Every structure is written in C-alpha cells, then in structure tokens.
C-alpha cells in the first residue's frame, strides 16, 4: 500500500504548511531563516511511495491560496495563472531543475457580459444560461431577434451540407442538431446561407448518455461570423416543434490576441532520443480555483517531479515534465508545443502521459482506452495499449478496480495522439454519471456525476476526495518511474546510459469541437 500520511521532506513548502498545525507556519519558518534540509536517502522506495498524499495536498492548498488572492481563479492570461506558474517554477528550481517557459500567442475569446437566449414568439420564455443554453467559445458578438428555422433537424449530419440550407430565409436563426461535423462547419454553413445566428442542440444519439442529451459546452476554434449557442436536446426538440418560432440571441464577446506559456522541465539523465513526457494543464476555468480541474493533476505531477531525483536508480530515458497553459480555451498550450517541435524532436518523444483531474469527489479510477475497446475512442498510436496495461497492472497489484475511459480529444493528450505519439493517462471522472456498478466498485453515489463541481466556483479544496488523489497519484508516479527505466513495450526501445542513437518511430494514423 502507498503511504497516505507519511510526511514529505521538510524542504518542501507543503511540509512547512502542515507544520502550522504544530505551531510553526510557513511565514514563521521563513522569518526564522530555516534552511531547506537535504533529501533523505530513498533507498529502494518506489516513486509511488515517495510521492505522498500529504505533499500533494500541500501543493493544492497553495494553489487554492493563489486563486483566493488573485480573482478566485487561475485562468489563462490572468494574475492567478502567472502566480501559480511562478510557484511551480520556484519549486522546480529548488529541486535542481532548470524549468523553461514555452511561450505562444493565441486568440482569446472574452465574454464581456452574460449572454441572452429567449423565445419571443409564439409566446415569451427566457432560457437560463449554463442550465438551458451556453454561448460557444469563439462565438461572434451580436444581438439578433429573428425567426427560428430548423435545418435538417432529424439528420445525423444536420447543418453539415450546404444544400441543407437551400431556401433558408435571410437573417433567420438556424436551429441545428449536433453531430458528424464540427460546430464551426455548421455555423459557417449557416452564415454562408444568410443566417444571423445559430443554435446547436444536443444530438440524443444515445438517450442513456447525458453527454448526448444534456446541455454541452462547445467551441468553434476560431472566431465565427455570427453568434452561436448550444442547448440541450430537450430545448432543441422544443424549438423544432414550435410553429411560428421567433428567437432572440445575444452574445457580448470578442476575440483578442494574447500570449501565454507552458512550463517545461527536464529531469537530469537519460537518453535524450527517447523522452517520456508527463503533463497536466495548470490553468483553471474563470469560474473558480479549479482545484480538481486541474490543480489535482498539476500538484501530483509537481510532487512527482520533486521526488524523482531521489530515486536510487537513475533514469535510462529522458523524463520531461510539462504544465500546459490555455487548456480550457481549447488545448492551446499543448497544441502549440507539439506544433513547434521539429520532426527530429517529435521523433525523440517515446510516449506522452496525461493527468487531468485525479481528485473528483464522486470519483472513479479510469484509465485512457489505448486499446480502442470503447466504441467512441479514437484510434490510438501503437504502444498506447501498453501504457494502458501498465496502469491497469499497477492498480490491480494495489487491489484496485479500474475501467477504461474514452480516448477522445478533451484533454492535452490530443495533439500528441494526432502526431502519432503513444498516449495514456488517468482520470477520476468529470461530467459523466456514475453507474450503480461503478458505485459498487468505488463507493460514492450512483446517478450523480463524478464531479458535480466541474467548471464551477465549487471546485475548491473542500471538494476533493483524498482517497482518489492517493490512489491515482501513486499510479502517476509509478508510470513515470517505469517508463524512465524502459519503454520497450511501448515503442520497442531499450536504452542504457551510453545509448544515444535514435530510431525512427512508426506512426499510426471538453470543450467539444463536434
């Protein structure tokens, strides 16, 4: 069993924070000039034993404090993000790393005031934002009152074909079903046909799956020509069935060019031509501190990096730790990082491990589906199944039941997957609903989402399940140590300290974008 309550080295900020309970807090320690202590010898302890839940909790408490004093969040291009990034960098530097900021430009969609969505005829009804509808990110601003006209509402490819808009009334609001093509394509087709706005309702493709029936949050990827909203299946079907429908759509938003950055830190040692990348996004949504999403993954990754140099056996493969920026705006930080790699540097990445939410209050123990067993999973590069098995075997040895989770494009593994890099990761669950069977395995409440606080102000330090953090941070640390020693089952490579010759790798080829 992993140590849940063992104290980390006193050189860590989390350890100093916990000392406050005994009468010596962080500020007092600094004022007294207490010098960091040397790390204790690790002996034969595995990295999963060195990374303790107390230490991860200390990092999360610090991220909460940073958010509390900086507008309540750690969203991209805000003081909260910058201070959180400075914290990560400072911790890494104290541990001997030389972290770098990987900067990029991006288009930031800014919503200046609440959107509005209402039915103005044949009767009046005002819908509720974030309950019945939501503006899509990168929606153009506008104030439109016009007839609502369905576009092939029963078709799985509703709004995907230009011909479906034949005879569409100029200036009307297009009501479109989700499915088959991107929201950007549907919205552009509507704009080309003369629509003044679009409303995309959920598909209902699986009536038992809330992701296809409830309100969803969509992104257009880049600024649209007309305003665009998303709604639930229920609202959409009501709109389609209403004769004489007239709608009002108001979006107050704009797009500006911003800069942000990822944090990249390489551990010492290991062959540079076979790099294991482990990542977690550091930004939160603007609505809250994001302590589960994704302070939890960021904190566990940070403690893993801090403890990694204490391992007795030095790495045979290069290990790179990454904290991504601007994930909540559409995986921008990780996407820009991968796009900026030369072909040679990309070929040197042996695999990517992603950790996005590991402390959900109604948690599950979910492993990315690298074998493609789930119908909605994307085809994964060869070796992804081996990463999945590595996680599964570890948790089975610990006596824990795991299940695969869909390998899609909702987190920072996506650009690596698209580039042909084997990918894997862990997840404690988000907006999906826990089943009775899953509650039997992991406890919690069936019929509720894994994280009822997902993307809300309530995602704070009081709503973390520490058993989930304990179990999944152990898997995180174990995977980093395992692949630092060998990636043989993933990409067929074995490295010794002297092995530097590279080999070419064969490639296989939530906010929602479709």
464-485 pLDDT, tens digit each: 999 999 999 999 999 999 999 9
**Mean pLDDT confidence for 212-220:** 93
The full DSSP string for 431-493 is SSBPPHHHHHHH-S-TTSBS-TTTTSTT-SGGG--HHHHHHHHHHHHHHHHHHHH--HHHHS-
Burial of 91 (0-12, 13-18, 19+ CB in 10 A): buried
**Mean pLDDT confidence for 206-234:** 93
Burial of 182 (0-12, 13-18, 19+ CB in 10 A): middle
Burial of 174 (0-12, 13-18, 19+ CB in 10 A): buried
Helix runs in 172-276, H state only: 183-192, 233-241
Q: Look up the CATH architecture of domain 13-21+36-106+259-491.
A: 3-Layer(aba) Sandwich (3.40)
Provide the pairing of β-strand 142-151 with 125-126.
Answer: unpaired
Cα–Cα distances in Å, from 18 out to 7, 10, 31, 60, 339? Answer: 9, 10, 16, 12, 41
**Mean pLDDT confidence for 340-347:** 98
| pLDDT of 7 over the 90 cut | no
Whole-angstrom Cα distance, residue 466 to residue 217? Answer: 28
| Mean pLDDT of the chain, nearest integer | 89
Whole-angstrom Cα distance, residue 164 to residue 247? Answer: 21
Residue-level pLDDT at 5: 32
Map out the domains of the chain as residue ranges: 13-21+36-106+259-491, 113-251
Residue-level pLDDT at 35: 30
- Name the active-site residue from 61, 327, 392, 485: 327
Cβ neighbors of 33 (< 8 A, separation 6 or more) are none
| pLDDT of 9 over the 90 cut | no
Cα–Cα distances in Å, from 472 out to 53, 79, 98, 329? Answer: 10, 29, 27, 26
**Mean pLDDT confidence for 396-409:** 97
Residue-level pLDDT at 27: 33
Residue-level pLDDT at 513: 67
| pLDDT of 141 over the 50 cut | yes
Whole-angstrom Cα distance, residue 444 to residue 373? Answer: 25
Residue among 336, 333, 342, 329 nearest 280 (CA)? 333
Whole-angstrom Cα distance, residue 179 to residue 374? Answer: 19
Confidence of residue 402 (pLDDT cuts 50, 70, 90): very high
Whole-angstrom Cα distance, residue 507 to residue 440? Answer: 39
DSSP state of 312: S
Percentage of the residues of the chain whose pLDDT score is greater than 70: 88
Provide the pairing of β-strand 423-427 with 349-355.
Answer: parallel
**Mean pLDDT confidence for 175-188:** 96
Residue-level pLDDT at 507: 28
| pLDDT of 178 over the 70 cut | yes
Of 18-27, 268-277, 356-365, minimum mean pLDDT range: 18-27
Whole-angstrom Cα distance, residue 503 to residue 274? Answer: 9
Cis peptide before 294 (omega within 30 of 0): yes
Higher pLDDT, 264 or 508: 264
| pLDDT of 487 over the 80 cut | yes
Whole-angstrom Cα distance, residue 473 to residue 465? Answer: 12
End-to-end Cα distance, the chain: 42
Residue-level pLDDT at 149: 98
Q: What is the enclosing helix (H) or strand (E) of 337? A: helix 332-339
- Backbone torsion region of residue 35, taken as left when φ is above 0, otherwise alpha when ψ lies between -120 and 50, otherwise beta: beta
| pLDDT of 11 over the 50 cut | no
Residue-level pLDDT at 511: 55
**Mean pLDDT confidence for 271-295:** 97
Q: How many CB atoms lie within 10 A of CB 187?
A: 28
Q: Do the Cβ atoms of 108 and 257 come closer than 8 Å? A: yes
Q: Look up the CATH architecture of domain 113-251.
A: 3-Layer(bba) Sandwich (3.50)
Residue-level pLDDT at 514: 67
| 327 given a catalytic annotation | yes
Confidence of residue 44 (pLDDT cuts 50, 70, 90): confident
Of 1-15, 141-155, 348-362, 435-449, minimum mean pLDDT range: 1-15
Provide the pairing of β-strand 317-324 with 253-266.
Answer: antiparallel
């Amino acid at each position: 069993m992993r140590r849940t309550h063992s104290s980390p080295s006193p050189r860590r900020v989390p350890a100093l924070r916990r000392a406050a309970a005994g009468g010596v807090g962080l500020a007092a320690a600094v004022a007294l000039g207490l010098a960091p202590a040397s790390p204790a010898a690790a002996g034969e302890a595995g990295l999963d034993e060195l990374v303790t839940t107390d230490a991860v909790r200390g990092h999360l408490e610090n991220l909460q404090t940073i958010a509390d004093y900086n507008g309540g969040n750690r969203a991209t291009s805000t003081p909260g993000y910058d201070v959180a990034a400075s914290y990560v960098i400072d911790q890494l530097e104290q541990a001997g790393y030389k972290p770098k900021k990987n900067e990029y430009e991006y288009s930031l969609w800014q919503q200046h005031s609440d959107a509005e969505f209402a039915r103005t005829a044949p009767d009046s009804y005002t819908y509720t934002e974030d309950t019945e509808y939501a503006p899509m990110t990168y929606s153009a601003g506008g104030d439109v009152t016009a007839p609502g006209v369905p576009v092939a509402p029963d078709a799985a490819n509703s709004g995907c074909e230009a011909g479906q808009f034949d005879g569409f009334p100029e200036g009307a609001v297009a009501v479109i079903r989700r499915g088959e093509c991107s929201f950007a394509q549907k919205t552009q087709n509507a704009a080309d046909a003369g629509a003044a706005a679009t409303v995309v309702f959920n598909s209902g493709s699986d009536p038992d799956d809330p992701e296809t029936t409830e309100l969803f949050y969509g992104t257009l990827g880049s600024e649209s020509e007309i305003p665009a909203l998303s709604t639930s299946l229920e609202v959409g079907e009501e709109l389609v069935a209403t004769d004489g429908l007239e709608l009002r759509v108001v979006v107050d938003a704009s797009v500006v060019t911003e800069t942000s950055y990822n944090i990249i830190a390489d551990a010492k040692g290991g062959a540079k031509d076979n790099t294991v990348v482990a990542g977690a996004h550091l930004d939160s949504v603007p609505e809250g501190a994001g302590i589960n999403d994704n302070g939890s993954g960021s904190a566990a990754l940070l403690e893993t990096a801090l403890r990694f140099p204490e391992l007795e056996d030095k790495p045979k493969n290069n290990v790179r730790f990454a904290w991504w920026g601007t994930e909540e705006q559409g995986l921008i930080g990780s996407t820009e990082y991968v796009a900026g790699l030369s072909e040679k540097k990309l070929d040197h990445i042996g695999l990517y491990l992603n950790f996005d939410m590991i402390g959900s209050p109604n948690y599950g123990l979910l492993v990315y589906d690298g074998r493609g067993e789930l119908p909605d999973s994307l085809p994964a590069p060869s070796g992804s199944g081996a990463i999945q098995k590595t996680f599964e075997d570890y948790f089975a040895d610990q006596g824990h039941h795991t299940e695969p989770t869909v390998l899609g494009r909702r987190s920072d593994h996506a650009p690596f997957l698209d580039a042909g890099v084997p990918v894997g990761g862990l997840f404690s669950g988000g907006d999906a609903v826990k089943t009775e069977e899953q509650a039997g395995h992991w406890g919690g409440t069936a019929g509720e989402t894994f994280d009822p606080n997902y993307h809300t102000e309530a995602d704070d330090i009081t709503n973390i399940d520490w058993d989930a953090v304990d179990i999944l941070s152990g898997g995180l640390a174990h995977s980093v140590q395992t692949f630092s020693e060998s990636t043989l089952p993933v990409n067929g490579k074995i490295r010794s300290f002297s092995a530097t010759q590279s080999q070419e790798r064969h490639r296989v080829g939530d906010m929602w974008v479709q």
